[in-house]
Amino acid sequence: MEKYDLLVIGSGAAGFSAAMRAVDFGKSVCIVENSEIGGAGIMKGALTSKTLWELSADYSVAGRTDRGYRASTISVDFQKVKDTVILAAKEKQYQILSQIETFSKEKNIHGNLCLKRGKAKFINRTCVQISYDDGQTEQVEAEYFVIATGSRPRPHPDFKTDGIRIFDSDTILNLQKFPKSMVIIGSGIIGCEFATVFSNFQQTEVHLLDRSNRVIPYEDDDLSQFVSDSLEKNGVKIHHEASLRTLRKFDDRLEVVLDYEGGYSRVIEVETALVAIGRMPNTEDLGLETIGFSPDKRGVLGMNDFCELDGIGKCNIYAAGDITGHGQLYNIAQLQGRYIAETIFGEVKFPISYENMSTLMFFKPEVAAVGFNEKQIQHRKIPYRVAYYSNELVARNIAMRNTRGFVKIMVSADGKNRILGMRAAGPQASAFIVSVAHLINEDDGLNQVYKTVHPHPGVSEGLEECLRLFEHSSVFKPKAFPEFIKYNEWYPND
């Protein structure tokens, strides 16, 4: 029976980062993967959806006629778009496979990797059984284990996806052509991203079903409204405060019955439907009962601060990624995977903090977020100041002829001026993330911020001006541009 220092179930962001960090410590590692190399995030998730977004954004820009030029002919072929998306995913998959081969057992004595393509199930706390597609099985032992099996699209409770007319994010690439019309069920990040993609290509009439009166409802109202307005400007028809009563499937169409909070109903006809109501953890059929553990009612694996499975005593089994319930983000999964390997084999330099995770939302324009939003700050009863600066005043955005967007920053109003969070929208909004995340983590507040000189013309000048608002020293003033520059304060007793 083979034995390894670490056995990782799943090769996604969490599993692969845990494996490679263990190799850094000279350990022997076995990765067991039952599906796509690199996890769902590559072939059925973040990489494919973002490649689709990039292609759709390029197409959208190419079709503009307000910049002094016009493309004489512009067309798009969905099959060729899909081929490009799959090529991008495979490129990343083969990078992962190349690294696994580079650190294979035969070539590396000090720190090595082994990939087994099968399904792992615990027999006890030191052994798993791997089942292969050909019916063969194998038992493998390890000193430590990491469960990193990821998540899958949450099914709709009333009907099933078929990959033919009704899709989820796993099956959307089954499409053979751009549908003439589509209803997207769910107005969270995934739903709004796909609404952006298909409306960018201008081949599909997109209906977005929003059960509340705000898309991205967990964000502040100003950001939700901005995203909603952007989608509608892009041609998306948003059905606010509407719930899906039924979906009737015919050979050539779908009939969707919507009930609105106002008491009335509407029936719309579409060619396809996309279900985007969240994701659920893959924690079934792992043999967890044999190690005295079970997921909670959401399917999440409970764990302690060290990512060990919680409640089964001294533990050599860890969990990372979407199955932990700490936000279904690539950066969280990777951070947890690395942290586990460092906890087991090395020295942990700092504890994991989930409060300041950076997020990118691929809408039109893109949206970036880090730290708390105003709702979260008020819920914690933290006094704060907030500044808002529109891209309408940023020279680089004016030059780009792309001024939709803003920067919004929240700092504590307790005399320490700690930066609590940021929300930004517009071209290159992602450029602000790392610098603001660093300021939040350093907890230096605004003390060092004003020493930095931003290049001109650059989109980061909007960030610079937004920060200057807290000292009332911005070049452009709120009094002159009240619609573009805003400043406010909030205290728990307000």
Q: Average model confidence (pLDDT) for the chain?
A: 93
Q: How confident is the model at residue 107 (pLDDT cuts 50, 70, 90)?
A: low
State the pLDDT at residue 67.
85
Q: How confident is the model at residue 455 (pLDDT cuts 50, 70, 90)?
A: confident
Predicted model pTM: 0.94
* pLDDT given at position 494: 74
Residue 345, pLDDT > 90, answer yes
* Residue 104 bridge partners (DSSP): 113
| pLDDT for position 442 | 75
CB atoms within 10 A of CB 3: 13
Q: What is the pLDDT of residue 73?
A: 85
> What's the pLDDT tens digit per position in 60-105?
999 988 888 888 889 999 999 999 999 999 999 999 999 999 998 7
pLDDT of residue 446: 78
Separate counts of helices (H) and strands (E) for the chain: 11, 23
- In this predicted structure, the answer to whether residue 106 has a pLDDT above a threshold of 80 is no
User: Is 367's pLDDT higher than 70?
Assistant: yes
- CA separation, residue 282 to residues 42, 44, 117, 152, 319 (Å): 16, 14, 17, 7, 12
CB distance 365 to 425 below 8 Å? yes
Q: Say if residue 226's pLDDT is above 90.
A: yes
Residue 171 CB contacts under 8 Å (≥ 6 apart), including other chains: 161, 163
Q: What is the pLDDT of residue 434?
A: 82
Q: Quote the pLDDT of residue 105.
A: 72
Instruction: Answer whether residue 108 shows pLDDT above 80.
Output: no
Under the banding of pLDDT at 50, 70 and 90, the label for residue 55 is very high
What is the model's pLDDT at position 19? Answer: 98
Interval 247-274: pLDDT, tens:
999 999 999 999 999 999 999 999 999 9
Residues 184 and 209: beta-carbon distance below 8 Å = yes
pLDDT single digits (tens) 461-487: 999 999 999 999 999 999 999 999 999
| Whole-number pLDDT of residue 34 | 96
* Cα–Cα distance measured from residue 350 to residue 334, given in angstroms and rounded to the nearest whole number: 15
Six token digits for residue 288? 């967890």
| Cα gap 347→341, rounded to integer Å | 9
* Domains identified in the chain and CATH numbers: 2-152+280-345 (3.50.50.60), 166-277 (3.50.50.60), 365-490 (3.30.390.30)
- What is the pLDDT at residue 423? 97
Share of the chain above pLDDT 70, in %: 98
CA pair distance 27, 250, nearest whole angstrom: 56
